[in-house]
C-alpha cells in the first residue's frame, strides 16, 4: 500500500513539504497549485496509509509527516542499496577516466 501511495508525484511533493514543517490544507493548496478538494483527497490517502497525521488546534487542522511507514520502506530497500552504490562507483570511475582523457588531450 505504501508504494502505491508514494507512486503519485503530488503525494510525494506533499510529504516533501511536510518534512519541512507541519502545514494546513490551505498552505499545502497554495504550494501545490491544486484545488482545496484535490489537496484534501491526497491528504486523505496519505492519512489512510499512515504517512500523515492530523492534529487540531482551535479551528485549524495541521498536517504533519509520520515517518514510521517510511522507516519500513527504508528497511525493505536496505539490501538493494549495494546495487546503487556499485553503479554510482562505476559512474564515478567512468567520469574520472573521461576527465583524465580530456586533460591528456589538452
- The whole model's pTM is what? 0.74
Q: How far apart are CA 43 and CA 48, in angstroms?
A: 9
pLDDT score of 52 more than 90: yes
Which residue segment(s) compose the domain that 81 sits in?
68-105
pLDDT score of 1 more than 80: no
Q: Does 42 share its domain with 56? A: yes
Q: Does 19 share its domain with 54? A: yes
Q: Does 47 share its domain with 97? A: no
What is the average pLDDT across 40-55? Answer: 95
Q: Does 41 share its domain with 14? A: yes
Q: Does 29 share its domain with 10? A: yes
Q: Does 24 share its domain with 48? A: yes
The predicted structure's pLDDT at residue 102: 82
Structural domain total, the chain: 2
pLDDT score of 55 more than 90: yes
Tell me the DSSP string of 20-65.
HS-EEHHHHHHHHT--HHHHHHHHHHHHHTTSEEEEEETTEEEEEE
pLDDT score of 46 more than 80: yes
Q: Does 91 share its domain with 40? A: no
| pLDDT (tens digit per residue) in 56-85 | 988 899 999 998 888 888 888 888 888 777
Percent pLDDT > 90 in the chain is 52
pLDDT score of 23 more than 90: yes
Q: Does 17 share its domain with 61? A: yes
Amino acid at each position: 500500500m505504501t508504494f502505491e501511495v508514494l507512486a503519485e508525484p503530488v503525494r510525494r511533493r506533499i510529504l516533501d513539504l511536510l518534512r519541512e514543517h507541519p502545514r494546513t490544507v490551505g498552505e499545502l493548496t497554495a504550494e501545490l497549485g491544486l484545488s482545496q478538494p484535490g489537496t484534501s483527497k491526497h491528504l486523505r490517502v496519505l492519512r489512510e496509509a499512515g504517512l500523515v497525521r492530523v492534529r487540531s488546534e482551535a479551528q485549524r487542522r495541521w498536517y504533519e509527516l509520520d515517518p514510521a511507514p517510511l522507516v519500513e520502506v527504508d528497511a525493505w530497500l536496505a539490501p538493494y542499496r549495494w546495487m546503487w552504490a556499485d553503479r554510482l562507483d562505476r559512474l564515478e570511475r567512468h567520469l574520472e577516466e573521461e576527465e583524465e582523457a580530456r586533460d591528456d588531450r589538452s
